[in-house]
Amino acid sequence: MDFKEVDEKELISNYEQALEDEDFKRLVGKLKLKGDKVINYTSKLQKTVSELRNCKHCRNLNNCKNTVFGCVYYPSNDDNRLRFDYVACKYKKEEDEKEKLAPIFYKEPLAIKTASMSDIDLTDKNRIDVIRYVNKFYKNYQNDKNIKGLYLHGSFGSGKTYILAALLNELAKNGAKCIIMYYPEMILYLKNNLFADEFQTIMDNLKTCDVLLFDDIGAEVVTEWNRDEILGTILQYRMDASLPTFFTSNLNMEELEGNLANTRRGVDIVKAKRIIERIKQLTVDLEMISENRRK
């Protein structure tokens, strides 16, 4: 008896032993393959059975014990041959769907990512005008996709970002493609990836997304490049397309204009005014002075 015959006998023996497991037998039955086609895959099929058992007693992704998080190593009959893939479980699929609906974040502290309109503090009278506008925008957006956004400026830590992030979170749940961008970080990232493929992808996303929030504009180091080639290009596209755009800033528009005018190469009032005019076309200007909620 040669080694090949010994190996074949061992494979058959292992397969027959595995068939004593009802779960294994049931899985093989679903594949609708003859035994001689399945024998070589006994150990892989046993792995599938083990992972399916893990899933049977699992209640959420936090308890996942499988090799690939949220997935099952599952076989399929591919032209009378077995092919194994990692297939997402129902909990992973639910999470993936939620991710599709969530805004794209280039800044995602937990408080911003989970911001909800139902959690906005309504007791501060200094925030009433802003909250009214946000509620009005939310109610009207489905019927009018070209509503103006807000240029929301005011005191540090007053909740400007939270309120607007809450709005974008709710809009995203209804299918709008939203982006929340921490502006100074965006400028730095684009500068460092100027010649990467991702640069144009991000620029296209910022120009065309349904609703955009530039958070903390005015906190960046202004250069002619980031003012004219980046910000100016994005705002011009969104203005022409009437796409809702939001801003938060600690500077009012007059202060922002002064900030945009000053670069290391000198002062250019005209180009700064062009940017401000685009912002005015895209937004309603509101101020919010409130207590510092970061304390």
As for how many domains the chain has, the answer is 2
Backbone angles phi, psi at 245, to 5 degrees: -135, 135
What pLDDT, in 10s, does the model give residues 119-161? 888 888 888 999 999 999 999 998 888 899 999 998 877 789 9
**Domain at 210, CATH number:** 3.40.50.300
Give the pLDDT band of residue 97 (cuts 50, 70, 90): low
Cα–Cα separations (whole angstroms), residue 115 to 29, 79, 166: 48, 49, 5
By the 8 A CB rule, do 150 and 246 touch? yes
Among candidate residues 68, 94, 120, the one where a domain is terminated: 94
For residue 150, give its domain range.
102-288
119 and 71 in a common domain: no
pLDDT reported for residue 100? 52
Q: What stretch of H or E contains 175?
A: none
By the 8 A CB rule, do 117 and 166 touch? yes
User: Which position has the token pair 């007791």?
Assistant: 123
What pLDDT, in 10s, does the model give residues 10-54? 888 888 898 899 999 999 889 888 767 788 889 999 999 999 999
pLDDT reported for residue 92? 85
Distance CA 215, CA 107 (A): 9
DSSP 197-235: HHHHHHHHHHHHSSEEEEETTTSSPP-HIIIIIIIHHHH
Provide, rounded to the nearest whole percent, the portion of the chain with pLDDT above 70: 91
127 and 245 in a common domain: yes
What pLDDT, in 10s, does the model give residues 199-213? 888 888 899 999 999
What pLDDT, in 10s, does the model give residues 45-71? 999 999 999 998 888 888 899 989 899
232 and 107 in a common domain: yes
Distance CA 173, CA 243 (A): 18
Give the pLDDT band of residue 101 (cuts 50, 70, 90): very low
210 and 147 in a common domain: yes
Structure tokens at 126: 């200094």
Query: Is 293 part of any domain?
Result: no
205 and 87 in a common domain: no
Q: In whole numbers, what is the pLDDT of the chain averaged over residues?
A: 86
188 and 67 in a common domain: no
pLDDT reported for residue 6? 47
113 and 67 in a common domain: no
Among candidate residues 70, 94, 118, the one where a domain is terminated: 94
